[in-house]
Structure 1
Amino acid sequence: MSDHVIREKDTIYISTPYIRTPHHKQPLVFKDYLEPFEEEHRIHYSLQDYDKSHHLLQLLRTLYETQSTIIVDLNTGHWQELYATDLMFSDDMTHIVGFNGRQGTTQDIIIWERQKDSNDGRYTRVFSSNELYEQQYDDNKKNEVYEARDINWTADNKINVDFIYRVNPTDTVAFRSRYIYATDDKEGTWQRVLPDNDINN
C-alpha cells in the first residue's frame, strides 16, 4: 500500500492500481492548508486507519480544534467526509458510528447508514445524540478521559459506547458510563436503550 498512498511534504496522494475505475485515472489529492499566523484556518490531513479486507482508507482532517474523518473506497475512488472521529463500521458495513466534538471532549454520538440506492456507497446520518454533551456540563462537571473512549458493535443493530470520566481532572479514580444504542424492532430507528454505570480504579 505504501507505493500508492504517499505523503509528500504537505500533500497525500492516493493513486492506482488501488483505484481501478476509468474515471479515476488521476490520483486523489488531499493537500494541507497552511496560512501564516492564521492558526484557526490551518487544515492538516493524516492517515488514520486502513481496512485491508475492504480496501477502505481513513484520513483524519484537523482544522484548529475540530476534526473529521474522510473515508476512501480504494476499489472505486469514491470518498466521503464524515464530521466525526474514531469511526467504527458494523460487521456488515451497513452502518458507521463515531464521535463528534472538539479535540479533548465529545459532544455527540452519530450513526450513519449506507444508502442502498447509491452507486458510490455513500452514508447518510440516521441518528445523533447530544446526551454526552449535556451530561458533561451538568452540575457534577464531569471531566472526560478523552483517550479512554470505546465503541463496540455487539450486533449489526446494537452498539455499546463507553466513556471514562473523572469528577476532578487530577483524580486517580474514575467511573465508566456506558451508553447502549439499538434499532427499534418495529420502526428500525436508532435510539438509546439503556445506561449502565460502574466504578473503575
Structure 2
Amino acid sequence: MSQEKKVSTSTPPSGAGGIVIINYGAGNIQSIMFAIERLGYTAVLSNDPDEIRAADKVIFPGVGEASYAMNMLRQSGLDSLIPTLTQPVLGICLGMQLMCHHSEEGDTTGLGIFDVNVYKYSNKVKVPQMGWNTIYNLKSDLFKGIAEKEYMYLVHSFYAPLCKETIATTDYELEYSSALENKNFFGTQFHPEKSGDVGEQILKNFLLLTSNF
C-alpha cells in the first residue's frame, strides 16, 4: 500500500456547519460523523426534507441491501427529494449505487441520478470485494491532491460499470466505476471515511466544493 497523505489542517470555511448526513435507517453513519469531526467540521443527522434542502453539503451513506434501502427512502419521501437537490451531494457505497438507474440487487429501481445500472459480480471472483484496492484515472476536483493508484477501502458485491460519468476506476474482475459525478452529485463506491488520511482528504475536498455547477 502506498504511503498515505496527511490531510490539511486549515480552518474549515464558515459555511461548513451546514453539513447534513441523511439518516434513513440504512447508513454507516457513525464512522462518517467521526471522520468529519476529525477534519474539524460539524455535521448533523437528519431525515427532515427542509433541513436537507437547506444544507450546504449533503452526504448520502448506505450499507445493506439495495431494495430495503430504497423502501426506507420511499417511506420517508426522500426518494423524491434527493434528485432535486442543488448543493453538492456525496453518495457513499450503497448510497452511490442507489443514485444509479437500477441495481440487480433486489431488482431495485434507483434514483436515476447517474446514467448507469448496477450489476452483480460473477461467481469467478470472491464476493464481497472486501479490503483495499487502488483507484486511478482520477478526473474530478473530488480528487484534488490525490495521487493515482492510492488505496481505498471497499466492501461490495455489486458494481457500476465504466460510463461517461466515471471519475475514478478500480479493477476487480473487470474495470468498474469506483466514483461517479453528474453536476452537483458525486458518488464513491469506496468508503472514504474508512480509508485513512487519503480518504479523509477526499471527504475534505468534497466539503470544500463550491455550489457553482
Task: Kindly name which structure, 1 or 2, has the bigger radius of gyration based on alpha carbons.
Answer: 1
Identify the structure with the greater helix proportion: 2
In which range does the TM-score fall when normalised by the shorter chain?
Answer: under 0.3
Q: What is the TM-score normalised by the length of structure 2?
A: 0.27
Q: What is the TM-score normalised by the length of structure 1?
A: 0.28
